Each structure stands twice: as structure tokens, then as C-alpha cells.
Structure 1
Amino acid sequence: MKNKACRLLFVLLFVPFLLRAQSETELNSGWRCSKAEEVKATGSQISTSGYDLNNWMPATVPGTVLTTLVNNHKMPDPFFGMNSRQIPDIYDKGNAYYTYWFVKDLNYKKPAAGRAVFLNLRGVNYNCEIYINGQKLKASACDGMFLRQSHNITSYLRADGNNRLAILVHPAPVAGKPNGGQGGDGTIARNVGMQYTAGWDWIQPIADRNTGIWDKVTIQETGAVRINEPHVVTLVPGVRLPGEKQDAAIIKTTAELQNTSLKPIQGMLKYCINGQVITKAVTLAANSTTEVALPALTVNNPKLWWPNGYGEQYLYPSDFEFIIGGKAVSDKRNVQVGIRQIDTKWNELTHSRQIAVNGQKIFIKGGNWIISDAMLRFTDARYDAEVRYHRDMNLNLIRIWGGAMIERPEFYAACDKYGMLVFQDFWMSGDANGRWTDPAKKDDQWTRRKYPDDHSLWLESAADQIKMVRNHPSLAIWCGGNEIAPPDDILTQLRDVLMPKLDGTRWFIDYSNSSQMSYNTEGGNGDGPYGIQDINTFWQHKTYPFNSEVGSVGVGDYESLLRFIPAANLKVPTFDGKKETVDSVWDYHKYIGYQDFLKPYGEPENARDFAMKAQLVNYDQYRALMEGFSAHMWEWYTGSIIWKTQNPWTALRGQMYDYYLDANACLYGLRSGSEPLHIAYNPVDGNITTINNGFRNANNLMLVIKTYDMAGKDSLLSQAFISIGASSYQRIQSVKRAVDALRKKDGVFLNLQLLNENKQVQSTNFYWLPNTDGEYSGLKEMKRARLNVSAKQTAAGKVEVTISNAANAPVAFFNRLALISTTTKQRVLPAFASDNYLSIMPGETRKVTIDYPQGVKDKLQLQLYGWNVTEQITDIN
């Protein structure tokens, strides 16, 4: 209500000027392009409306050259099969092959006197020349993949509004040889750009190295004074609890004011949040940019922003305005503000950094993120879906890996919304920037250690990107690089000058696995392991106490494989005890193996059977990983970050969902193991362990421990009231002797539940345990279960599924649910299920909700299949 009052006050005072406030329009359609070698005209000629563009291709902007070529069917989809081998690589063809003109006719009239129009480019790779209406905007090219550009084009616009914009885009000067190394031969790091584009152990090279106008292009109109880089800092002193009345918070604000006119201007900078307004009168020199700090503002009883699992992610709308002469709004900027404070301290017991939000320590459960799409095809909807998946996995942090980029504001907005803290790397990697000797690299370590070639451009880009994302409450950690710090001159400037000046509120770490972050007294600092492990290892082997990269396998299910592997290549990998042999397409898509871990379930008969059994291992691996870390919180660990939770292309490793946003069992295993309140079984000593990530004690909980045999007969092992302290774990009791006796011959199912005083389930965890020989002999012989399934539409984009198992039936084991189109029989994606790969006990009824995009028009059905459940297709009522 207060914020509404603030906006209403503004409307009453300044109605005549509302439509003249700052406006920004995206230029994302109507572009055409052509290879520069095939164009004989100059930029001045091309950018005049009389130049004929009829033979030019429609261009995708924002997008890369390769995206445009694929969209025009000039190149095959590089994410399918081994198609990318058919696409000429820039290293072999030379930069001219991917140097392109991009042209757009722009209907925009020259504004009235006292107003200015800006052309904004948020990302061009790698440099460009810009022409408008026959004139070149700058004498020199604009370098740098990450450096934002803003050009005052007021004087270039035509009075009749018929304008033409032409941009010549050149690739990065050093393409790098894609020789199979991490970052290819390493020379890709000589640029200030993305290193993965020359190839990595999870992706094939991107042929054009993502050359193009890859990020948003906008036209922005303002008055004579423009607001640039508004900055909001929130201070939340003390220790807070969600849901309680809060002591006051402090908000500090600054903004850069750009006077575009040739005379001094007097005016007022105004900031409005939560119904409160602060102002400052300023005089701006002609043709100047001045940073202005507003008085500090106190917000009483603020609604705080908390990470996922700990409280609400409240966001306050707020506005900066500059008003000239007491009446005219020259410019306006909106900033969503999450009031929170992030602090860190060293934990002497774990020997690692510990993160606190609003005074409360947070046990970090994170995922490593590369980029949303390897060809930079970003959308708000995809960002929202991917970050939501991380929220649904009960994670609270995403690390942005240093071989990619500073993520886009739309990504950060999704993290603000879903409560994901962000650990943001800058553009360095130990592989390309010289941490190790590497025969795949062209240059020696001493040379690579000095990359990139242009240090000043790197620092200018860093300063610009810090300003771009620093207002987001989700941004928690800045990191100099992946597994290596920047060169000393860059590091010193970044750490000691840019960070204090431009941010100063976040922890800065020099590199991702630095001893500043985590130090294992038995083995130094580092990260990993990355491959499949015996699940006992996660419980009994102590790794790095704040592990920035630790992970396992991640092959998707059969439907996922069908999307990018040709039918002829859907061959089951084989393992001879030393080496895993795989089909060439699987190898091309960077498959990492399951070794002997599928054999206890029986040798896979075909690719479908392989994928199903892989999901059992996926679920077990990631549940155990996070349980093992959480069950040693504050004793061994302050956090862990999964390597990795997503893939920006069709890879066969390290992913909780595939490139097409289809979840596999990794996601649901991790979701289980990461529950805020969780009950777990330690497979080493048989201890039942409760884990409470919350800030409050969990009291009067009923612990129920049951087993089920392969026929569905249950045995109650224990039932007792327990309590568990805030932000802690507790070992309750060992059931090893009883469980070992029951699983001896055929294995056994173990079902754990925590109930509250109203008998509502607070945590449930279901394990399938092998016999004493490590074989799932009982699973192989299980009788079929028949489920009663119904589904109904409860709201737009929401389906509720009810699943029942008969009282005298066996456990209906490991069931996969999916929404499918009735016409295509293809899955509707993304789909967010409240549970999946779930097992239904005899006599049990479970409800699952599935959310899907509301724009889907097809009539839908529910598909269900499981280990011992025949596929069922159910109409949705």
C-alpha cells in the first residue's frame, strides 16, 4: 500500500510528463544479414535506405551468426548427433568466414529539442563498426565481448523517422584451435570472451565462437539528463529470523547522472521505495557525467529477502527519477530491491568459509552452471525454468563457471525470485590460463598466465559487468576465476580498486577452489571428485570442506536420448572392468561411464533398459552426495556445489535435466537429499540421521522406520518421538542389524518418515537396498504392480495426479510421470513435478502436482511407467 501511495503521489504531481519519462524498446525483429565478403558496398552505403537488402538473409538478433545460419537452414543443428562436424570451424576457415553485416530499418523520429535517443548494445562478440543513415558512429571499432555500449544517436536520426542501422561484426581476433583440450589449444583465452567455445570436456567447439550481436539491442529515449548505473545497497545489521517483526534496515543509493546537453542543468534526483521518498538537488555541468549519492534511508520492519528454504524472497519495487525544473521527468529507472545482508567468516573447525544471510549461517547446497544455451539463445522463460529447477532441487546457490560469462540480468532476476544465491566467476580458467602444464596447449604456462592480451579491456569489461548486476540481492560472491586467479595486475585492480568502489558488499575470492574458500588439512585445497562413486564414500570420506565442484554421472532417460542421438547409435555402453566402450555419438557427446554400477540391476538389454537403470543410479548418487555433506554440516563442511546441474547443449554427463529442460532422476534424488528438513539412512553404519537446515528447532516429530520386502509385506522397525536443533544434524539410532538381516537374500525396501503432531509428513525417504552380495536380486524378480491413476486440471498450467496402490500388492517401484501431447505423444517441457521417480507402498495413495507452461494449447495426457509397472496413459479431466 505504501509503494502504491508513492506511485500515486508521483502521478498526481507529474501527470503531464509521465509519457516523457525514460522508455526503452528492444530491437529484436526485422534484422537482415549477409557475409561481409559477399558485400561490395561500404558501411555508409549499406546504412542508407536506398541500398537493396532483398537478397540478404533474415537475421536472429539477439543471436549469433551460427544461430542465424541454423535458423535459415544453411547449417544443420549442431546439437544433434555429430552434425557439428559438418559446420566449418572458424579456426580452419579464418575470421572472414564469420564476419557479417547486420542491418535493421528503424522507424524512429528525431525527438524534440531537449531530449536524447540512445542506441544500447548489451553484448557484441567481438568488435563492431556501427553506421546509421550513412554515418559512422565512432571512428574506432568497439572491442570486447562483454562490454556494453551506449551511443547517443539523436543527431543521426532523420526527421521523418526513416532510419537504417548497419552493424559490421568481427569475430574475436584469436579463434583458438579446437584440438580437444579444455579450451582447445588455450589461445581462445587471449580474448576477453567465453573460453568454452573452443571445446571442453563437456562440449564440442562452437564453430563461430559465438560471433554476433548476441545480447539485447535497445533504443532508449530520455530528457536532457539520463540516469546511468543506479546502485542500491541494503544493510541489515544483527541476527534476524524470518516471519518476525524486524529491526530497521538501511538503504544507501547512488546513481550516475549524464547531462547530454551543452548547458548546465539544475534538477532533483529522487528515489522512492516502500512509500518513502528521498531527494537531492544537484547542478550538472554541461556534457558531463556525475555520480550522486542520496541520503541514507531507513526502512522500519522491512520484509527481508532470504535464500531458498529459509524464508520469503520479498522484492520491493523502487524508482530512481531525475526531475528538471521541479516538473519534467527527464529519466526514470526501476530497480527491484531485496533487503538483505550477506556476510562471511572463517569456520575454524571445518577450515572453510561460512556464509551468513541476515545474520544467519546458511549451509550451502549449490549447483554449478555453465550458461543457459551454448549458442546464446537466451529467453526469460528458459532462465525462469532453469532457475526454478534449482529451487525445486532444494538448492540455495548457483555458481557461474569462469569459462563462460557474467550472467544476464534476466538470470539474476530469476535467482532473486526463487531465492538462489549466486557465486559469480570472472573470465579465467586454470585450463586455458596456465595453472597446469598441458600438452594440448599452444603456449607455455608463463605465456598463458599473462592471458588475455588486453588487460585494460578485461578490467573495463569487469567494471561494466559489475555495475550491470550489482543490484540483485541474489548476487552473493564474486570470484576472480575458475581454479586460477587473474594475472597479478588484473587481480590487484579488481580486488583492491574496482570491487570496493563499485560494490564492496560481497565476498570476493581470488579463484574458485582457493584456500581462502576451503582447505582440507589432509590434502590442501581443491575440488572434485567428479565421477561415479560408491554411495558409502559420500558418508565416510571427507573431501574439501567447501567444495566448489563435486559430482557424478547424469545420463538422461530414454526420451532424452532420442532427441539428439540417431536411432542407429542408440547402443548400450559396455564395461570390461577397466574400460567403458561406447558408440561414437555417445562419445562425441562427452559420455562419462557408469562402469559396473548398473550390473547389480542386471545387464541392460537395450538403450531403453540402460536409461531406466541409469536413473536408479542417478537418483542414488545425488541423494547420497547431498546427504553425506549435510550429515556433516559445520563439522566437516560449510557447503558443496554440484559439478554440474545443467548442460547448455546435448551432453551425456553432469546434469539434473537435459538441454531440452526434461528432468531426469538426478534432479529428484538431489531434491530428496537436499530437503530443508530431512531424514536419511547412513549405508555405512546403518544410522538414521535427521538434518535440519532451518533456523528454528524442529520439535515433537514422529520418526517411523519401516521395511518392505519384494512381495510388499511391511515390518515396523521403530516409531518414536524426536526433536532436532536448528541448523544441525542428529544421529538417532542404528538399524543396521535389522536391515542387514532383512536384505540378506533379496534386498529390501527401507521407508523413512518424519511426521508432525498433526500426522502430516514432513520428510519421507525411500531406499532400495541390495542383498548382502550387493545384487538387486529381488528387484529382478518383482511381481507387477497395477496402479489406479487419475489426473485432473486444477488450474491453467497445473495438473493434479492421484496414484493408488492396492493393499495386497507389491511396492510399485520407481515410477516416472510425464505430461504428453495427445497428438504428438511428445512430452510437454518444462514440467515441474512435486515428485517423480517415486515408489508407491501397498495400500498407499499419493498426490503429485505438475506445473507446465500455460501457453501450451495441446490437449494433454499423463504418462506413467515404472520398474514393475506397465506404461499407462491417462486422460486428464
Structure 2
Amino acid sequence: MLQATPLTDGWILRHPDGAAASLPAAVPGCVHTDLLAAGVIPDPFLGRAETEVAWVGRRDWTYETDLDAASAHEQTDLVFDGLDTVAEILLDGRVLGRVRNMHRSYRFDVTGLSGRLSVRFASAYAEAEAVRGRLGERPAAYAEPYQYVRKMACSFGWDWGPTLVTAGIWRPVRLEHWSTARIARVRPVVGVEQGTGQVELAVDVERTRVEVPLTVEATVGGVRARAEIEGTGGTVRLSVPDVRLWWPRGYGEQPLYDVELRLLHGDAPLDVWRRRIGFRTVGLDRCADEHGTGFTLVVNGERLFARGVNWIPDDVFPSRVTRERYRTRLRQAAGAGVDLVRVWGGGIYESEDFYDACDELGLLVWQDFPFACAAYPEEQPLRGEVEAEARENVVRLMPHPSLVLWNGNNENLWGFRDWGWEPRLAGDSWGEGYYLGVLPRVVAELDPTRPYTAGSPWSGSWDRHPNDPAHGTHHSWEVWNRRDHADYRLSVPRFVAEFGWQAPPAYATLRRALPDEELAPDSPGMLHHQKADDGNGKLRRGLERYFALPEKDSEQDFDRWHYLTQVNQARAVAAGIEHWRSNWPVCAGTVLWQLNDCWPVTSWAAIDGDGREKPLYHELRRLYADRLLTLAVRGQGLELAVVNQAGLAWTGAARLRRMSVEGAVLGEASARFGAERRAVARIGVPKELEPVGPKEFLVADADGSRAVHFPAPDRQVPYPRPEFDVALVPGGVLVAARTLVRDLLLQADRLHPDARADRGLVTLLPGEEVTIGVSGWETPDAAAARSALYCMEPSR
């Protein structure tokens, strides 16, 4: 039977400042984390220390340990699950192999060998610049040479990430001892036909003895089947009756079935492969209709409005992301009502832990291939690496029922057409052959059960603009970059795969990252932790449209700025999602940019780099709930949209109240509605209830859901000075309003860095109260709670 021996102990990192200099090394890990642990470099997440460690990515590094491959088995392999990125592997000076792709695994025959194992990493910069020198310059969104090396692109920095170019043994390494034969690859094709699960396991084996007869035996759901291995391959098929279907969260349960495949010589087991699978069907409706070309996910025959978020690597040093950290972040996503996570193309193919958690939580996975925001050369050595990594990772991820879509790239088709790339390339290769050739061919051959799309955004044809909102996927970045978030309501894209608005991280996160700085929007550390082009200018212009801005000369004014940016982020995202959800089924999904951060930074994330939820996170819980009310101007009047994504019809009566900011009810009515399952109902608001001028607003309530419409920007609204009472209650804080209190927010991390609130922004009418649950607060105090409460105030 194959035996595996992890190689985690005894590694050292050779320091480049001297041939004898060395440090203890953690494997899996990377150079930066080893240097941090040894105190050689400062934490690049703090202050502006990122710039102090830039030299690390420009150096060559060597990892070493002693290796003894002696074994009673016929063969021993040295297996690396991931090497970042360009490396030469040697044993006592003998070259075992050379590698140049972070996204692949590697295997070397070391049977009977022993000695000093060295993994010599060359600088990814040196490799990328050498490839660029041979193949020629290609345009990109950023100046760093990330498109010339098969490495996590955002290692080289992004508009939310630091430039920390890593190197190291970033995934597990082990010795595998085996005899006669081993399982080299299992490709599971899983389907459902009339309630019966169909499993086809295509098996590749590696042998030491070709003459030995081999069989494979597979079991799943109590069904067992055998097949002969002919040469180095074979296929075993199983039919599992009466399977329970795997559903996305909110649509049903997520039953998972254990699959075991054993490689046998006679009755003697040689190797075993185990995974969990789920039975479900998935499709992508891209049919043309009167609105353009659709993009609707269909799971088990159910058409979905995808409630999505974009996922970036959760740490710029991905070896630090543990199984529990994945689960924490993905539980946060599920807790916000998310049912789809897009793994963005500037990152990595995530570890099994990520996809396992998505399987269990019912989170659909849209998987980008790792290409983003650049023209990628198609010549060697890159072309062969791209196909090899695609083949490996498609097969690796196939067992996961959560995986429902392969996507060729992020924004590269758009970039070619719209960002001036085409004339600059002058006929040079730029990646089209990957997205429209290599990758769809690999997916069709290896994983025929899942749809593939060439890119995001992509309209489906060069006959249309790649980012045409009426066709396929659309990225909405004119809003934020140049236009107000109210402009989200001007169009109905078929599927919004990226959109978002920035805000700084939580206050405690800023304090940890900038411990000695007097905080201001434009203080040195704040500017360093703002990577977007003119990011602060866009924040300011976004605020000026709605709010009277605070001055810059006090900590209190920074606190107000911090609060208002959080409010504006939540409102911007709400403007988009409310509008697009109310236009289902023309619009079939929204994928927020972005769920998470990889370090403490001002960004579009709902969860900051320390894992703290911004107010946007809690707003997502409302926006992505099965039932949503929204008020919007449509045509010549106001309309209430009743959005029902639940499996049962939603019928009832909405209470409509026209109110003054002083708290008087100026008009009231009850409006009956009926929204079928997975449908939207619309109700016209009577003219007499429409608010007039900045002193009035409209409130709609139904079954615990609320929508509020103010016709004027906050800077014009004569808010009363907010009055409310604060009291401690078991597990939280009770706030009772005596006046209108708009966008009340308890910033729990100001009470204690570990404190968390269970809700974000809430608007209270006079006489209403809310209990805000607070955890992680060691010494509750009502006065402290009041000091951490923020809301809209009269303009200064």
C-alpha cells in the first residue's frame, strides 16, 4: 500500500546576505513569513513597512533539508503540491528538475536516494523580466511584469493589495513510497438521470511492473463496482439509485457522498483515492431574447438569481490561510446571504479546504483561470505551462459539487478591445488563444458537466462590445470611477459580475496597522494603505454628492469621515443590488467586488483584512435576503418592488407611511401584494404618499422587511438632532429612539478590538428601538456604548 511521509521538519532558509547565513524555515510557507518569524524584516502590513521589504522579492533563496528516501517499496517519489514559483530542485547537487509554475504540483523519482535536498528559488522578477525580454512587451493594467510568469498575479500588487513578491514551498511536500502501481489521476464525471446518480471514474495509473494484472474497485452510496486496468488506464462506472440532490444554500440541502476507489493487485490494495461528491445538474442559459443575451445559472432545473461576491486570496501570503480561516470567511459569506463565490483570476486555484467548505455550506463556486488585467503571451514557455496547469486543476476540482462554472479570464477580452491594447500589440499574441482555444478545449475534454465562459466580462461574441450590459456578463466600473452610485439604476445588465464602492477598514484594524499615526484621510499611512488610483479623490467626490464633509483638523472629524465613508459604501452597493434584483429575471445575478481583503487597506471589501465586518457586510444580509423590499423612482412615480427569492409565495400587505423628518406621519396606506416563488411583484405608490422636498421621506414595511426612500441628499435634509436612550441588556445594547435616527451604527471594535456587533446600519423612527447584539466585549458599559454609536446629524 502506498505510504506517504510528510516533509515538514528540519528545513532551513539560506539567507542571501552570506553563504553560511541560514534561518529556520516553515514548510509549507514562504520567504516572507520565515523572515518575519526570525525578526529579519518588519511586518509589511504595518505602517509603510511594505516598501522596506521590497528587496525580498528581488533575491534568490534556497530551502534545504536532509532527505532519506530509503524504503522497502519499489519506488519513492518526492512530491511537491506547490512551489512558488521558479525553482531548481537538487539532491546533493544533482538536479532532479526545474519548475516555473506556482499553480502546479511536481513529482520526482528519488528511489533509494539520500542526501541534502535543496530547492533553489530564483526571483520571480528575474524570470518574468527574462521572458518579457524574449517575447516582447505586452500591455497590462499595472506596471509590474505579472503576466510573464505563472504566479499569483496579485503578489505583484493590485489596487487593493501590497507588492510582496513571494517565493517558497507554499503547499505541502512529502515522500510517497509505493510498489507495483499507484493511482496517478482519477477524473470523476458525476451526473443525475431521473433520480439515479451516475458516476464515471476514469483512472490513470503509474506502474513499476507492466505485466501485473490490476483492477480498481469503487464504492459510493452503498454501490460497489470493479473494472480492469488495461495498460495504464481504466474506467469504472456506478449507478446510485434514489440519490438526494445537492442544492445551493437557500434552495435545499447539501448531501455529500463518500467515494472510495482502491487500486488492487488481486485482493491486495496498492493505493486508494477518496473524495466527497454531490449529485446535481448545472447549466448556463445563454439564450438570446428580447433583452439581449442571457446569463442565468440553472441548478437541478431551478433558475437562479446569483447572490454573489468576488473572492481574492485571503492573505497576500496564501500559505498562512488555514482550513479554519477558510471556513470562518466562507461562513461569513453564507451568513450574509451569499450563494455564489467567484474565485477571481488574479489569485490562485484555492486549496481543497476552500472547496470542501463551499460544498458543505452550499456556496456555488465560479472559478476563474488565473489570468487578469493583462495581455498574456501565448508562446513557450508559457503556453505549455498554461495547458498543464489547466489540466491538473480541472481534474483536481471536479469532485466538488459547489463548482458550477469555469471562466477563462478577468477583463482581458475587455482590455484588448477597450483599453488601447490592440494597436499596441500590433498582432502579437495576448491570450485570446487561451480563452477561446486551449481552455474551452481542456474543459470540454475533461469536465463536460460544467459550463465554460471565455471571460468576465464577455458578451459572447466579438460582434458585440465585450462589456455590453445587454449580453452576458458585465463589469460596472464607470460608477465609482467616474459616476455616482445612483447611476446603477440607469441600466439592467444581464449579469453583473463586478461592481463596488470603497470604504476604509474598521477603526481597530486601522489602529493595529497604523499604531503611531494621527489618523486623517490623507495621513501618510492612510495614503499608503489606499492602493486605488485616485482612491481618496473618488471617496471624497462620492461623499460630496450626499454629505456635508467634515473638516480635517481633529480626530473627531476623522471619525465622522470614517463613518460617512462606511455609510456611502453600503448605500452605493444597495443602490445597485436593489435595482438589479428588482429586475429579475432580466438580470440574473450580482457578484459584489469584493468579499475579503488580503491585508489592512481601504478597499471595496465587505470584510476587512483583519476579518472584521464593515457595515456593508451587514447591509448584504438585507440585500441578499430571500425577501427584500425596495423603493425606487420608476417612470413618473415611486414604485415598491417586492422581491421574493424564497421557495414559497410571499403575500401580504405593505404599510406605506409618508413622514416628516420631525416624525409626523403625513399620510398612510396599506398596499396588498403577491409575489410568486422566485419572482418580483411591483406596486405603484399612490401620488399622495410620495414625499415632497428634503423634509419628507417614505417608509414601507412588510413582514419585518423595510424600505426607506429619501428624495433629497443628506446634506439637504434638515435632520433633527438625534435623541435616543442607550441601555445595556444581556448580550448587547438597547437603543430607543426619541427622534428620527438615520443610519445608526454601533462600531463595536471601538469598545474592544475583539468586540463584534450583530448588525450594521439601522434607521429608527421615533418610538422605535433596536437591540444590537455585541460579543467579545469584556466590560460592558453604557457610556462607552453611547460613545461608539454614530448616526446622521444636522449638517454643520
TM-score in same-fold range (> 0.5): yes
Matches of 2:786 and 2:667, distance apart in 1: 25
Name 1:724's counterpart in structure 2: 675
Aligned partners of 1:250 and 1:298 also within 8 Å: yes
Matches of 1:490 and 1:812, distance apart in 2: 51
The one-letter code sitting in structure 2 at the alignment partner of 1:118 is: D
Name 1:785's counterpart in structure 2: 725
Name 1:320's counterpart in structure 2: 261
Name 2:446's counterpart in structure 1: 502
Structure 1 stretch displaced more, 466-475 or 842-851:
842-851
- How much has 1:31 moved relative to structure 2? 2.2
TM-score (structure 2 length as normaliser): 0.84
SS of the residue aligned with 1:568?
coil
Instruction: State whether structure 2 residue 22 is matched by structure 1 residue 56.
Output: yes
SS of the residue aligned with 1:339?
coil
Name 2:745's counterpart in structure 1: 815
Instruction: State whether structure 2 residue 466 is matched by structure 1 residue 513.
Output: no
Structure 1 residue aligned with 2:171, among 215, 218, 226? Answer: 215
The one-letter code sitting in structure 1 at the alignment partner of 2:611 is: L
Give the 3 Å change call, closer, same or farther, for CA 528–582 of structure 1 in structure 2: farther
Aligned partners of 2:83 and 2:168 also within 8 Å: yes
SS of the residue aligned with 1:765?
strand
Structure 1 stretch displaced more, 370-379 or 477-486:
477-486
- How much has 1:65 moved relative to structure 2? 1.4
Name 1:544's counterpart in structure 2: 493
- How much has 1:527 moved relative to structure 2? 2.1
CA displacement, residues 588-625 of structure 1 (integer Å, 9 cap, x when unaligned)? 57644323444544433422221112222122122222
CA displacement, residues 611-649 of structure 1 (integer Å, 9 cap, x when unaligned)? 1122221221222221111011123x2222222232222
Instruction: State whether structure 2 residue 289 is matched by structure 1 residue 359.
Output: no
Matches of 1:863 and 1:669, distance apart in 2: 26
Matches of 2:469 and 2:279, distance apart in 1: 37
Instruction: State whether structure 2 residue 620 is matched by structure 1 residue 676.
Output: no
Give the 3 Å change call, closer, same or farther, for CA 466–771 of structure 1 in structure 2: closer
Name 1:797's counterpart in structure 2: none
Instruction: State whether structure 2 residue 1 is matched by structure 1 residue 35.
Output: no
Instruction: State whether structure 2 residue 65 is matched by structure 1 residue 104.
Output: yes
Give the 3 Å change call, closer, same or farther, for CA 358–323 of structure 1 in structure 2: same
Matches of 2:773 and 2:217, distance apart in 1: 45
Matches of 1:840 and 1:522, distance apart in 2: 39
The one-letter code sitting in structure 1 at the alignment partner of 2:745 is: N
CA displacement, residues 149-205 of structure 1 (integer Å, 9 cap, x when unaligned)? 123434226xxxxx75432222334345999x9564353312222333333322332
CA displacement, residues 724-777 of structure 1 (integer Å, 9 cap, x when unaligned)? 112221112316642514x742x55x554432xxxxx4xx23547365785343
Name 2:477's counterpart in structure 1: 529
Name 1:420's counterpart in structure 2: 363
Aligned partners of 1:64 and 1:214 also within 8 Å: yes
TM-score (structure 1 length as normaliser): 0.77
Aligned partners of 1:805 and 1:840 also within 8 Å: no
Give the 3 Å change call, closer, same or farther, for CA 536–813 of structure 1 in structure 2: closer
SS of the residue aligned with 1:403?
coil
Structure 2 residue aligned with 1:127, among 56, 64, 86? Answer: 86
Name 2:539's counterpart in structure 1: 594
Name 1:642's counterpart in structure 2: 592
Matches of 1:226 and 1:865, distance apart in 2: 67
The one-letter code sitting in structure 2 at the alignment partner of 1:355 is: L
Matches of 1:168 and 1:586, distance apart in 2: 33
Instruction: State whether structure 2 residue 647 is matched by structure 1 residue 704.
Output: no
Name 2:549's counterpart in structure 1: 603
CA displacement, residues 215-274 of structure 1 (integer Å, 9 cap, x when unaligned)? 222344455332233222222357xxxxxxxx3232222222222x23532233121122
Q: Which runs of 5+ in 2 are unaligned?
A: 414-429, 551-555, 790-796
Matches of 1:256 and 1:838, distance apart in 2: 57
Structure 1 stretch displaced more, 841-850 or 366-375:
841-850
Aligned partners of 1:816 and 1:864 also within 8 Å: no
- How much has 1:213 moved relative to structure 2? 1.2
Give the 3 Å change call, closer, same or farther, for CA 754–560 of structure 1 in structure 2: same
Matches of 1:297 and 1:524, distance apart in 2: 36
Structure 2 residue aligned with 1:248, among 196, 217, 221? Answer: 196
SS of the residue aligned with 1:294?
strand
Matches of 1:84 and 1:462, distance apart in 2: 32
Aligned partners of 1:565 and 1:585 also within 8 Å: no
The one-letter code sitting in structure 2 at the alignment partner of 1:381 is: E
Give the 3 Å change call, closer, same or farther, for CA 488–629 of structure 1 in structure 2: closer
SS of the residue aligned with 1:174?
helix
SS of the residue aligned with 1:66?
helix
Aligned partners of 1:313 and 1:338 also within 8 Å: yes
Structure 2 residue aligned with 1:837, among 754, 757, 761? Answer: 761
Structure 2 residue aligned with 1:462, among 390, 398, 415? Answer: 390
Aligned partners of 2:727 and 2:734 also within 8 Å: yes
Instruction: State whether structure 2 residue 576 is matched by structure 1 residue 653.
Output: no
Aligned partners of 2:747 and 2:788 also within 8 Å: no
Give the share of equivalent positions with the same residue, in percent.
20
Matches of 2:171 and 2:766, distance apart in 1: 53
Matches of 1:370 and 1:783, distance apart in 2: 41
Matches of 1:381 and 1:790, distance apart in 2: 29
Aligned partners of 1:183 and 1:200 also within 8 Å: no
SS of the residue aligned with 2:303?
strand
- How much has 1:839 moved relative to structure 2? 4.8
- How much has 1:690 moved relative to structure 2? 0.8
Name 1:632's counterpart in structure 2: 583
Give the 3 Å change call, closer, same or farther, for CA 722–767 of structure 1 in structure 2: closer
CA displacement, residues 56-77 of structure 1 (integer Å, 9 cap, x when unaligned)? 2111322221222122221122
Aligned partners of 2:160 and 2:531 also within 8 Å: no
CA displacement, residues 633-687 of structure 1 (integer Å, 9 cap, x when unaligned)? 123x222222223222222121101111111011122221121221222256432
Matches of 2:307 and 2:781, distance apart in 1: 32
Q: Which runs of 5+ in 1 are unaligned?
A: 1-19, 41-54, 158-162, 239-246, 434-447, 575-580, 756-760, 792-800, 852-857, 873-877
Give the 3 Å change call, closer, same or farther, for CA 502–862 of structure 1 in structure 2: farther
| Count of residues in Structure 1 that have an aligned counterpart in Structure 2 | 747
Q: Once superposed, what is the RMSD of the aligned Cα atoms?
A: 3.6
